[in-house]
Structure 1
Amino acid sequence: MRLLISILFLLIGNIFSTYGQLDENPATWSHEVNKVSDLEYELIFKGKIAEGWHVYSQYTAEGGSLPSEFTFEKAGEDYVLIGKTTESETIKEYSDIFEVEETFFKKEAIFTQKIKLLNPDVNQITVNLFYQICQEVCIPMDEFFQISLDGSAFVATEKEIDENSLALGSSLKLDLKNTELLAQNELGNSSKSSNLWMIFGLGFLGGLIALLTPCVFPMIPLTVSFFTKKSKKRAKGIMDAVLYGFFIVLIYFLLSLPFHLFDSVDSQILNTIATNIWLNVFFFVIFVFFAFSFFGYYELTLPSSWANKMDEASFKVGGGLGIFFMALTLAIVSFSCTGPILGGLLGSTTLAEGNVAINLSAGMVGFGLALALPFTLFALFPAWLNSLPKSGGWMTTVKVVLGFLELALAFKFLSNADLVGNWGLLKREIFLGIWILLFVLLALYLFGVFRFPHDDPKQKLSPTRKIVGLVSLAFSVYLILGLSGKVNLRLLSGFPPPDFYTVQQTDSDCPLGLDCFKDFDEGVAYAKAENKPILLDFTGWACVNCRKMEENVWSQASIYQMLKEEYVLISLYVDDRKELPVDQQFDFKYDSGRVKTIETIGQKWGTFQTINFNAASQPYYVLLSPNLEVLSEAVQYVDAEVYEEWLKSGLNNYELSMNQ
């Protein structure tokens, strides 16, 4: 169960390949100095942490989230540290993600360090604190403490940044005009409730599929008959069945409940999973493992003692609590079928935005509701039981079909790793070729050309099996036509690699063959020369919403024409892991004094987006004039109609600014 919860918690991060506007630092710091003797002082650092946020201890377990770390400048030269830095009361909780016990602060963090001066004339010292402040995202922060030991005014000394870093850092900051428009960013933020319903619907669909598996389907008539026959009154039997269904929904909801409470778990993984190479490789392996369990080579099961204990408890306790234990028994014994479905389903819902726990709860409730409905409906209308198909080999077929779907999803994770890592292994043609092979094999299996270990050798091909086989074959043809360029694979937008990530030599490495710039300064220079407005596109290699916008919205004829003829497109990939040339790597110093080392292309453009637009979402679109006037509010994930009107308004505003 812990493995399942860990996987679900990580997978739901694929939903959040984007996250929104950055707020002010939710931690405020102060310091105090207590003089112990002529040469000894006690330094106290206090942090007030906003509600719902947390900061990790210096001594949190290795292998987990990043610990807080103090750097005492000139320690060993002007003074020495006496003992370790002590801390105020902390909280300890086990992280299913890292499988270690993590230590963190909530509401307040207090650090105390004693020092002894080696030079009696020293009266000022500088201390740097690196820490993570976490809630829905984890933000790495640096806090500089400039401390006067004698109470005099501190004469600030800047942390040394070389001239190259100062120049490159300064070039990232734009002199934007009309920035008040950016604060009106309302477009693209109205879809959260619809996304929640989408996740609920996908969860419900997953539950319906789970009903057709051999772990769940045979339980329906047995359970309904148990409730209707054990009660002397039919009304009592119906109420018990309804309560049983309610408890099924409740149990799956309870699986998401810890995520409303565990603010301590490092949520940074949830937001970066779509761009983390090795996590995507890990999920590729996990889903391949899931697939082969559905193929019948082994079975995923929770300890049988769990189910036995729950079953015993249901009879001993009786009443409503006994029915709860019966529902819990179903959840445990059906894990071998429901676990991979839940993981695959929630892992593929990459379109939603919002709160992690709320989205997870919506998916779980939808899944539980689909599982519970048959038990309630058949109790209300027992005659319907006669219409249920008999259990048999068809349920094994359902599992195999799910296994092929798990394999297809597995290659999506591997594709994410390949795109972000720039490995060049799964180009668009290769990815589609693998999917074509998988769905052709699925069709051949359904047509009885080959079998898996748990298949009945005498199994007949039912009409339904033939129809699904034809659908799989038709889908393969659809992929082949898409691979050859004869049809637009719009239905799959966001899943295959972008069309410009190809083994063929192309004139453009930009979406849809458009001309684009991947360097901001080059794009602005071209816009000035051509006297055209700029579409600034903050995107990502592993950003599904970005691909969907490009393939479903940008591909619209009127929008495509504007992008091609009216705008200069600048696409900046914030998850690009390519290292910058050594002479272009630098240290960037924020206004707060925090220093960030910029080593990759993605780090450069991610920092560029944050400091100029106070945002960290992808896709994120800004319209600018060549003179860096903001022409309209920024937008994110919107439909084609809204996007077209937004582009037109930018052109109109640009014309007005030119005429002034």
Structure 2
Amino acid sequence: MIIGKGKIFFVMLLGLLSLAAKGADGVEWTADAVADTDDAGHIVVTAKVAEGYHFYSFAPEGGYNSLEIKVEGNDAVLSTGEPSASIAPETHYEESQGADLSSWSNDVSFTIPFTFAPDKGYKINLKIRYQACDATACLTPKTVNLTVIGNGYVESENGDTADAVQANLTESAAGNSGELTTDAAINTQWWSPVKTTTPTTDQSPWAILVLGFVGGLAALLTPCVWPLIPMTLSFFLKQKKGGRFNSGALTYGVAIVVIYLVLGIAITLIFGAGKLNELSTNAIFNIIFFLLLVVFAISFFGAFDIKLPQKWSNAMDSKAESTSGIISIFFMAFTLVLVSFSCTGPIIGTLLVEAASQGNILGPALGMGGFALGLAVPFTLFAFFPGMLKEMPKSGGWLNSVKVVLGFCELILSLKFLSVADMAYGWRILDREVFISIWIVLFVMLGLYLLGKLRFSHDEKKDHVGVGRFILAIFPLAFAVYLLPGLWGAPLKACSAFVPPLETQDFNLYTHDSNYMEFSDYDEGMAYAEEHQMPVLLDFSGYGCVNCRNMEAAVFDTEQVRGMLAENFVVIKLMVDDKKELVRPMKVTAGGSDYTLETVGEKWAFLQSYKFGANSQPYYIVLDNAGQPLTDPVYYDNSVERFMLWLNEGLERYNSGR
């Protein structure tokens, strides 16, 4: 089967169109207030349930799955009653919980009576926490905030200053330590800064160095670079004097490293660590990264070549011929960089995108340095040992095959960046099973290509498959088989850092014997922990955090850790790159500076920076009910044994302080 160049774009378009949008929260909530008399009325809260979903009813003692409706009014509201449902919930036995549970699967409304002062306008805030499920899995518990007003209520310029609850919280914020003031409904004691020891185990920049080195070696095998080896080294062979090889070859290798390293340092100076971290979770840039890698993949598939202007390489080539010594060697190295850009450009682009996703100031410099080493070391070795040139395979169709394989790798990696934007903004177009399905198709196609069952227009027709290609084909096909159980919720720990988390999976047959309490709001989780007298495991995470996904799969997904958390801890997981807008922007004054936090992620990033003086994820710390640390924080460490010891240390300190 031969795929023409014109059809490649159509295939890509079909792949993108397959990412269909899906339902969001399972239940849509609305509220309205009705005045029955001059001083009394009722609120009607309506829940519209999506087809196939249900949400849990009230529970006598609350709980993770139960419906909670909290009502808070301004000073005009004199009293509020308990909510009553328009229809009774359905009761059924739920095996996963081992109990009879009640839920609504049809639209239902809740009536809440209240009284108010006849001469004042009333404003009532409703906080609704619920969990929606379908027949196969449950969505993450959601919190919905609604507001109703009446009796001529007018919002002041500075917000509802008469709101009793809000005023008390603001007073508390202003009087706590004088360091943090805010108009948000938070407990400032829980937000107060603490002293901790900063872990030093995060070594992700060095992974970029290794990735760059591998990328340099891969670039060596492309059709743009491989044929240049004998042509370039012939220059140095002519300069061999008295049986000794001059230092030109070593200088040539150093020049390649310097050129790429200067490029990496320039990118670092232009953007900086903070900007790179912002770009790594910005939806627009992640989509650009995604499209960029798709374009690179299409280029490797042979649809077109990405080339720099021909006059650039011609100019460098003429400079190399007209000069001598070190300057001549430098221009030769620069010529190599320009001429090989058609093949190295996509690899460098992928490397820089990955470096940007790390958000580390050393990332681009180390990545480009590693790439240059991987590309320069073989040239230098061949120059010192020219006899090795006789053993090199000739250029031919196998180099085109290398490009196509790299194209598949680009396409596979591109989905990671689309997934980051999708999760950060809650679009839900690339949930876990959709992501895995596309990966399975790509890995199967890669295996078929290596077996010669799938060919592009520039590939040579072969009557048989070599042993090497046959062995290589086993790996992508076997990995595709490994991915299949992930469609039903298997953890896929070998690639958990790249695929979306399990909570985005709609159909999940994978269950645990132990399920721990997890909140996505800091103050809600702290209040629950205080009420139930349990320590808190605070987890600062991110949708674009690769090491966070690794920790979840290698540590949190084990029965040993899950059991410990379920019995002894309240887990609060805060996503610092969550782009959902806050119901109302949070204005904060801290350390003499004013901040306006507009998204959920900005709020939790500020909390991590202000309270703990940290900004890296993952970041774990155990807190008591006053928000004080019981342990030193932990970053990335996928040892279950060490993590369990750390949890036990925090639990023992909590129990000894009670």
Q: Give your verdict on TM over 0.5.
A: yes
Aligned-partner SS, 1:571? strand
Deviates more, 1:210-219 or 1:557-566: 557-566
CA–CA distance in structure 1, aligned partners of residues 626 and 592 of structure 2: 29
Q: Which residue of the partner structure matches residue 252 of structure 1?
A: 260
> Within 5 Å, which residues of 2 pair with 1:497-508?
497-504=500-507
Q: Which residue of the partner structure matches residue 345 of structure 1?
A: 351
Note the C-alpha offset of 1:612: 3.1
CA–CA distance in structure 2, aligned partners of residues 242 and 279 of structure 1: 39
Q: Which residue of the partner structure matches residue 329 of structure 1?
A: 335
Q: Which residue of the partner structure matches residue 654 of structure 1?
A: 654
CA–CA distance in structure 2, aligned partners of residues 553 and 463 of structure 1: 39
Note the C-alpha offset of 1:268: 4.3
Kindly indicate whether residue 580 of structure 2 is the aligned counterpart of residue 602 of structure 1: no
Alpha carbons of structure 1 residues 606 and 241: separation in structure 2 relative to 1, 3 Å: closer
CA–CA distance in structure 1, aligned partners of residues 444 and 582 of structure 2: 42
Contact 2:208 2:366 in 1 (8 A): yes
CA–CA distance in structure 2, aligned partners of residues 437 and 292 of structure 1: 17
CA–CA distance in structure 2, aligned partners of residues 184 and 612 of structure 1: 10
Aligned-partner SS, 2:620? strand
Contact 1:283 1:413 in 2 (8 A): yes
Note the C-alpha offset of 1:579: 3.1
Note the C-alpha offset of 1:432: 0.5
Instruction: Select which of 237, 243, 247 maps to 2:251.
Output: 243
Instruction: Select which of 380, 403, 406 maps to 2:407.
Output: 403
Deviates more, 1:333-342 or 1:616-625: 616-625
Instruction: Select which of 312, 322, 326 maps to 2:318.
Output: 312
Alpha carbons of structure 1 residues 367 and 535: separation in structure 2 relative to 1, 3 Å: same
Q: Which residue of the partner structure matches residue 198 of structure 1?
A: 207
Alpha carbons of structure 1 residues 191 and 630: separation in structure 2 relative to 1, 3 Å: closer
Deviates more, 1:519-528 or 1:531-540: 519-528
Q: Which residue of the partner structure matches residue 89 of structure 2?
A: none
Instruction: Select which of 547, 555, 572 maps to 1:553.
Output: 555
CA–CA distance in structure 2, aligned partners of residues 654 and 186 of structure 1: 21
Alpha carbons of structure 1 residues 580 and 505: separation in structure 2 relative to 1, 3 Å: farther
Q: Which residue of the partner structure matches residue 290 of structure 1?
A: 296
Q: Which residue of the partner structure matches residue 533 of structure 2?
A: 531
Alpha carbons of structure 1 residues 547 and 460: separation in structure 2 relative to 1, 3 Å: same
CA–CA distance in structure 2, aligned partners of residues 416 and 638 of structure 1: 22
Note the C-alpha offset of 1:308: 0.8
Aligned-partner SS, 1:257? helix
Deviations 1:568-601 (A, max 9, x none): 11112232222344xxx14423045654444433
1:185 maps to amino acid:
T
Alpha carbons of structure 1 residues 369 and 620: separation in structure 2 relative to 1, 3 Å: same
Kindly indicate whether residue 174 of structure 2 is the aligned counterpart of residue 175 of structure 1: no
Q: Which residue of the partner structure matches residue 493 of structure 1?
A: 496
Q: Which residue of the partner structure matches residue 280 of structure 2?
A: 274
CA–CA distance in structure 2, aligned partners of residues 480 and 296 of structure 1: 30
Note the C-alpha offset of 1:611: 3.7
Aligned-partner SS, 1:284? helix
Note the C-alpha offset of 1:161: 6.7
Note the C-alpha offset of 1:365: 1.8
Deviations 1:465-511 (A, max 9, x none): 2222111111111111333445x422212210001111227999x9x
Note the C-alpha offset of 1:363: 1.6
Aligned-partner SS, 1:615? coil
CA–CA distance in structure 1, aligned partners of residues 398 and 276 of structure 2: 37
Alpha carbons of structure 1 residues 580 and 484: separation in structure 2 relative to 1, 3 Å: same
Deviates more, 1:206-215 or 1:628-637: 628-637
Deviates more, 1:197-206 or 1:268-277: 268-277
> Within 5 Å, which residues of 2 pair with 1:183-222?
183-187=195-199, 189-192=200-203, 195-222=204-231
1:573 maps to amino acid:
M
Aligned-partner SS, 1:630? coil
CA–CA distance in structure 2, aligned partners of residues 368 and 267 of structure 1: 22
CA–CA distance in structure 2, aligned partners of residues 530 and 283 of structure 1: 45
CA–CA distance in structure 1, aligned partners of residues 205 and 276 of structure 2: 17
Alpha carbons of structure 1 residues 502 and 485: separation in structure 2 relative to 1, 3 Å: closer
Note the C-alpha offset of 1:410: 1.1
Note the C-alpha offset of 1:261: 4.6
Note the C-alpha offset of 1:524: 2.6
CA-atom RMSD, angstroms? 2.9
CA–CA distance in structure 2, aligned partners of residues 290 and 360 of structure 1: 19
Contact 1:173 1:612 in 2 (8 A): no
CA–CA distance in structure 2, aligned partners of residues 295 and 507 of structure 1: 38
Alpha carbons of structure 1 residues 173 and 366: separation in structure 2 relative to 1, 3 Å: same
Note the C-alpha offset of 1:451: 1.4
CA–CA distance in structure 1, aligned partners of residues 565 and 356 of structure 2: 26
2:195 maps to amino acid:
A
Q: Structure 2, unaligned stretches of length 5 or more? A: 1-156, 171-182
Q: Which residue of the partner structure matches residue 84 of structure 2?
A: none
Aligned-partner SS, 2:455? coil
CA–CA distance in structure 2, aligned partners of residues 461 and 638 of structure 1: 43
Q: Structure 1, unaligned stretches of length 5 or more? A: 1-158
Note the C-alpha offset of 1:218: 1.1
> Within 5 Å, which residues of 2 pair with 1:380-419?
380-419=384-423
Q: Which residue of the partner structure matches residue 613 of structure 1?
A: 612
Aligned-partner SS, 1:184? coil
2:628 maps to amino acid:
E
CA–CA distance in structure 2, aligned partners of residues 370 and 507 of structure 1: 42
Kindly indicate whether residue 476 of structure 2 is the aligned counterpart of residue 472 of structure 1: yes
Contact 1:393 1:459 in 2 (8 A): no
1:616 maps to amino acid:
N
TM-score by structure 1 length?
0.68
Aligned-partner SS, 1:496? coil
Alpha carbons of structure 1 residues 248 and 608: separation in structure 2 relative to 1, 3 Å: closer
Deviations 1:7-64 (A, max 9, x none): xxxxxxxxxxxxxxxxxxxxxxxxxxxxxxxxxxxxxxxxxxxxxxxxxxxxxxxxxx
Instruction: Select which of 443, 451, 454 maps to 1:450.
Output: 454
Percent identity at matched positions?
43
Deviates more, 1:630-639 or 1:412-421: 630-639
Alpha carbons of structure 1 residues 629 and 261: separation in structure 2 relative to 1, 3 Å: closer
CA–CA distance in structure 2, aligned partners of residues 533 and 489 of structure 1: 30
> Within 5 Å, which residues of 2 pair with 1:216-231?
216-231=225-240
Alpha carbons of structure 1 residues 176 and 473: separation in structure 2 relative to 1, 3 Å: same
CA–CA distance in structure 1, aligned partners of residues 283 and 357 of structure 2: 20
Aligned-partner SS, 1:569? strand
1:280 maps to amino acid:
N
CA–CA distance in structure 1, aligned partners of residues 457 and 252 of structure 2: 35
CA–CA distance in structure 1, aligned partners of residues 403 and 515 of structure 2: 40
Alpha carbons of structure 1 residues 186 and 578: separation in structure 2 relative to 1, 3 Å: closer
> Within 5 Å, which residues of 2 pair with 1:91-110?
none
Q: How many residues align?
A: 485
Contact 2:281 2:424 in 1 (8 A): yes
Aligned-partner SS, 2:347? helix
Q: Which residue of the partner structure matches residue 37 of structure 1?
A: none
2:388 maps to amino acid:
W
CA–CA distance in structure 2, aligned partners of residues 505 and 393 of structure 1: 44
CA–CA distance in structure 2, aligned partners of residues 609 and 172 of structure 1: 15
Contact 2:449 2:455 in 1 (8 A): yes
Contact 2:489 2:507 in 1 (8 A): no
2:249 maps to amino acid:
A
CA–CA distance in structure 2, aligned partners of residues 470 and 587 of structure 1: 54
CA–CA distance in structure 2, aligned partners of residues 475 and 349 of structure 1: 26
CA–CA distance in structure 2, aligned partners of residues 383 and 434 of structure 1: 46
